[in-house]
Amino acid sequence: MNREKVVIAEILGPRGNRGEVAARSQTDVPGRIERLERATAQLADGSDVPVEIAAAWRHKGDWVLKFTGIDSIDAAERFRGADLWIPFASRGTLADGEFFESDLIDCRVLDKITGESVGVLTGWRKYSGAPLMEVKVGDREVLIPFVGPLCEVDPAARTIRVDLPEGLLDL
């Protein structure tokens, strides 16, 4: 995991004719996008461009961002596909018992009943409902729901104990 920067949004492309961009949030921190004043956009070519956010509002499940000085569709087009990031030190804090998904990558996943190792958390998938942990089990990947009553996280031990539904590992 990159400990220098945290991606908080993916810029989808221009939206409207005044230079706004549509963006998909990648942050779990409540209020992060609407209170954002400054960030950096990593463009498709890998270059970083500092941006000042003049306005942000929700639209159809995503966000619309207005960057200061970007006032046309053509100017906004250069941000298509960019990652909007902030320094790691500015990522915010969560309430007790809550975790940044990125902090749980590489945690060992253990069977809550037997204590045996199931595998290692390698990533996340989100659809509707609970997020799914991508767990490397041997030479394959298994998707395990990350549901509070079924999962116990021990950040100090870097483990996640999971009450596995019967037959899940056989799928």
pLDDT digits (tens, 9 = 90+) for 2-57: 568 888 999 999 998 899 999 999 887 778 899 999 999 999 999 999 999 999 99
Tokens coding 89 = 């030190």
Q: Is the pLDDT assigned to residue 77 strictly greater than 90?
A: yes
- Residue range(s) of every CATH 2.40.30.60 domain in the chain: 5-90
Average pLDDT score over the chain? 90
Q: Which fold has domain 101-170?
A: SH3 type barrels. (2.30.30)
Which residue(s) pair with 134 in the sheet?
123, 143
Question: What pLDDT, on the 0 to 100 scale, is given for residue 96?
Answer: 79
Q: Which strands form 108-111's sheet, in the order they lie side by side?
A: 140-145, 132-137, 117-125, 108-111, 159-162, 151-154
- Residue range(s) of every CATH 2.30.30.240 domain in the chain: 101-170
Q: Is the pLDDT assigned to residue 92 strictly greater than 80?
A: no
Identify the CATH number of the domain defined by range 5-90: 2.40.30.60
